[in-house]
Amino acid sequence: MTTTAIQTECAESQETRILPLLNPRTRARRDVSKRIDNIPLLYAEMEGEELDRRITAARETLGDRVIVLGHHYQRDEIIRYADYRGDSYKLAQIAAARKEAEYILFCGVHFMAESADILSGAHQKVILPNPAAGCSMADMANIAEVEECWEILTGMLGDDAGIIPVTYINSAANLKAFCGEHGGVVCTSSNAPKIVDWAFKQGKRVLFFPDEHLGRNTALHYGVPSEQMVVYDPKNPLDFDDAEEQIEHSRIILWKGYCSTHMRFSVEQIAKARVDYPGINVIVHPECRHEVVEAADYYGSTEYIIQQIEQAPAGSQWAVGTEINLVHRIAQAHPDKFIFCLDPIVCPCSTMYRIHPAYLAWVLEAMVDGEVLNQVSVDDETAYWARVALERMLTLSA
């Protein structure tokens, strides 16, 4: 049985050109503008073969001056050009190690390109092909909100608060800098258990942002009971006043943020998979709700999911709770195993999906002409403290 036989893809994931994805108002502008959605019309209207020809030619001309990094959640039409593919942790390591490339073309989302800029050399330029490729979870925490939360906590707990801030890598550079400056650290879904373990040993409690679910799953794994967890809602910070006693007894304060892609997975989907395919293995990402993680057989980062399925025997069956482009790619790589996405109506991560081959062709041809487009650059002071938090993470997880 193939994956398409049991799943329906949302309309967006079947679009192959940029223009059909534009909203009607933007489309109406196309007749009076030479640019659409940050990109010149010339590229937005180009067909796949022409884009492929141009991307390939530009890459040949640029040679080793450019490396292309592709996150696992990118569509196949992008991943085929990637020199390296990985999750955010692996790509951050590569960005830190490949100092010889003049350009790092980052096919991922904005926070990843920021991390690459912070970890790469001053002589390197990091380019995000489409500057609109953000992450909805990363946008759920901003520096003003985190500083407000910090003030409330330290005001409530006093000098003896012992709070270690830990930010998921899916966050803006200034939140990473906040952690660096306040004795904290960055984590990824690959290294979260190790990092949170370290953080608990440094202080009395952890402030974990912006993903409530990764924070909860990791803390439960560490042995922190639910009663010692508090959820902080940045939209209703005053609710906190009523929770003073709970906060005093807390080991972890979880930011109320989530990944819309991983929130689609449910316990009901897992139950159905088990009925439909007795003996199936269920594996999910730790950005899923705790009850989903609990109902699964395995959970872990995208790299962990790939490895588990790779090492499984031929003929094994897998229901996977993570982003669909990755699930499809794993299924294609293992035709001897039965692999499908837990969600019957599967959509790609809509922000990752904003990287389209047209953007690659556009920025690469500009590079050939000596022009740098869509560079992501973090200011020096933010970069300094963010680097402290990122390098602490890389050292701790080495």
Of 135 and 361, which CB lies nearer to ligand SF4 in the complex structure?
Answer: 135
Candidate residues 261, 302, 325, 397; the one interacting with ligand SF4 per rule CB under 6 A: 261
Question: With left for phi above 0 and alpha for psi between -120 and 50, is residue 121 left, alpha or beta?
Answer: beta
Q: How far is the CB of 31 from ligand SF4 (least distance, A)?
A: 33
Site membership for ligand SF4, residue 349 (CB under 6 A): yes
Amino acid identity for residue 123 in this structure:
H
Of 113 and 349, which CB lies nearer to ligand SF4 in the complex structure?
Answer: 349
Tell me how crowded residue 393 is: count the other CB atoms within 10 A of its CB.
27
Candidate residues 105, 146, 352, 383; the one interacting with ligand SF4 per rule CB under 6 A: 352
Residue 204 token pair:
């009395």
Residue 296 and residue 282 in contact, taking contact as beta carbons nearer than 8 Å: yes
Q: How far is the CB of 216 from ligand SF4 (least distance, A)?
A: 15
Candidate residues 191, 218, 317, 351; the one interacting with ligand SF4 per rule CB under 6 A: 351
Q: How far is the CB of 72 from ligand SF4 (least distance, A)?
A: 10
In the region spanning residues 71 to 90, those forming contacts with ligand SF4, defined by CB under 6 A, are 73
| Number of residues forming the site for ligand SF4 (CB under 6 A) | 13
Enumerate the β-bridge partners of residue 71: 86
Candidate residues 127, 128, 135, 292; the one interacting with ligand SF4 per rule CB under 6 A: 135
Of 165 and 210, which CB lies nearer to ligand SF4 in the complex structure?
Answer: 210
- Residue in 148, 159, 112 with CA at minimum distance from that of residue 302: 112
Q: How far is the CB of 33 from ligand SF4 (least distance, A)?
A: 29
Question: With left for phi above 0 and alpha for psi between -120 and 50, is residue 162 left, alpha or beta?
Answer: left
Candidates 41-49, 329-337, 344-352, 354-362; binding stretch for ligand SF4 (CB under 6 A): 344-352
Give the whole-angstrom CA distance, residue 171 versus residue 230: 20
Residues constituting the chain: 398
Of 259 and 389, which CB lies nearer to ligand SF4 in the complex structure?
Answer: 259
Contacts of 357 (CB under 8 A, 6+ apart): 48, 51, 52, 55, 77, 78, 81
In the region spanning residues 277 to 336, those forming contacts with ligand SF4, defined by CB under 6 A, are 323
Contacts of 33 (CB under 8 A, 6+ apart): 41
Candidates 43-51, 76-84, 133-141, 306-314; binding stretch for ligand SF4 (CB under 6 A): 133-141
Candidate residues 259, 288, 293, 319; the one interacting with ligand SF4 per rule CB under 6 A: 259
Q: End-to-end distance of the chain based on CA atoms, in angstroms? A: 40
Site membership for ligand SF4, residue 206 (CB under 6 A): no
Candidate residues 124, 130, 167, 170; the one interacting with ligand SF4 per rule CB under 6 A: 170
185 secondary structure, DSSP code? E
Amino acid identity for residue 261 in this structure:
T
Q: How far is the CB of 109 from ligand SF4 (least distance, A)?
A: 5
Q: In Å, how far are 1, 300, 305, 336, 340 from 331, measured between CA atoms?
A: 11, 18, 12, 9, 7
Site of tokens 């994931």 = 13
Contacts of 226 (CB under 8 A, 6+ apart): 220
Give the x/- contact pattern for ligand SF4 in 139-168, rule: CB under 6 A.
------------------------------
Contacts with ligand SF4 by CB under 6 A lie at 73, 109, 135-137, 170, 259-261, 323, 349, 351-352
